[in-house]
Amino acid sequence: MRLMAQARVRRSLSSKGVCATACKSSSLAVLNCRGSCKMSQRFELVASTHRSFVALATLRLPGHPLRRFTKEEAAILSRALDSVATGDRREQQIYMSPIASDHDFDARVEQSGVVLSSEGHGDVKLDWSEARALAEQLRLFASG
């Protein structure tokens, strides 16, 4: 998969407090959470075109391998993260093996958030505000 160059980046903060940096380009959008969002962990979701899957979202977490999601997978993962963050579900784990990714999405649900793990890499903890921000960015990608 090849990512295209970024163009015309703008920063915005939605009314729900979700931090996003959106890159206006026909082939790439960057949605991330860092800096002025005052969140304890950073993530970046990069949307790009793909000749087989049409569109893919790539999740970047510090010290972790890239994870790529189709629009359908992003929608499913968004709903799963949102349901555990709001307390609608009492799941203890969210697991997905995305078709376009070499790495699974494996998150353990804890009282204060979710902990993403990857074999051979350190865990990355997302508090509930970060988990909801990731869910929102995945939802935006899936609906676009």
Query: Is position 46 within any domain?
Result: yes
Q: What is the CATH number of the domain that holds 92?
A: 2.30.31
Query: In this predicted model, what pLDDT tens digit does every residue of 27-57 receive, in sequence order?
Result: 344 454 443 333 335 799 999 887 887 899 9
As a whole number of angstroms, the distance between CA 111 and CA 76 comes to: 22
Q: Rg of the chain's alpha carbons, rounded to an integer?
A: 14
Contact at 8 Å (CB) between 141 and 45? yes
As a whole number of angstroms, the distance between CA 139 and CA 83 comes to: 13
Query: Is position 2 within any domain?
Result: no
Query: Is position 124 within any domain?
Result: yes
pLDDT of 84 strictly over 70: yes
Whether the model clears a pTM of 0.75, i.e. scores above it, the answer is: no
Q: Please state the domain count of the chain.
A: 1
Query: Is position 58 within any domain?
Result: yes
Which helix (H) or strand (E) segment holds residue 84: the answer is helix 71-85
Query: Is position 1 within any domain?
Result: no
Query: Is position 3 within any domain?
Result: no
Query: In this predicted model, what pLDDT tens digit does every residue of 7-21 receive, in sequence order?
Result: 222 223 232 333 343
As a whole number of angstroms, the distance between CA 34 and CA 43 comes to: 7
Query: Is position 128 within any domain?
Result: yes
The mean pLDDT value for 122-137 works out to: 94
Instruction: Give the domain extent around 127.
Output: 9-143
